[in-house]
């Protein structure tokens, strides 16, 4: 886990943007981004059971969203005072591991009657 893991988790529930410095494979180096924290936990599609930090990168240059960063890829995280709207991401297709009051992602919402 990163040193300020508790603040990352709190930022998810509070819908606060973060400034994150991390090593990006597609960028072949360290990048500094303003992102939305989405979740923390294992990636069911990964071959390993390691927990990852899930973030939404609006710059979208460091790989496919959401980014799934291992703790050793992250140099620093700072919670910002700015809020984000989870609906702006179009619904992230996964079940949340960290509890929050965002509602369910669009892909897992029940079908409408009619």
Tens-digit pLDDT profile for residues 36-63 = 999 999 988 888 999 999 999 988 777 7
The answer to whether residues 2 and 8 touch, using CB atoms and an 8 Å cutoff, is yes
| Tens digit of each residue's pLDDT (9 = 90 or more) over 53-111 | 999 998 877 778 889 999 999 999 999 999 998 887 765 556 788 988 875 554 443 33
**DSSP 8-class letter at 111:** P
83 burial (CB, 10 Å; 0-12 / 13-18 / 19+) is: exposed
Nearest alpha carbon to residue 40 among 49, 50, 53 = 53
- Residue 63 falls in which region: left (phi positive, over 0), alpha (psi -120 to 50) or beta: left
Please compute Rg for the chain using Cα positions.
14
How far is the C-alpha of 32 from the C-alpha of 4, rounded, in Å?
Answer: 17
């Amino acid at each position: 886990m990163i040193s300020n893991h508790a603040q990352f988790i709190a930022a998810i529930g509070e819908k606060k943007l973060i400034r994150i410095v991390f090593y990006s494979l597609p960028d072949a180096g360290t990048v500094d981004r303003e992102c939305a924290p989405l979740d923390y936990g294992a990636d069911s599609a990964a071959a390993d059971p390691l927990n990852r930090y899930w973030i939404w990168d609006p710059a979208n240059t460091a790989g496919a969203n959401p980014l799934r960063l291992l703790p050793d890829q992250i140099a620093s995280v700072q919670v910002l005072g700015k809020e984000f709207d989870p609906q702006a991401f179009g619904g992230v297709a996964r079940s949340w591991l960290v509890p929050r009051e965002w509602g369910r992602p669009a892909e897992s919402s029940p079908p409408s009657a009619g």
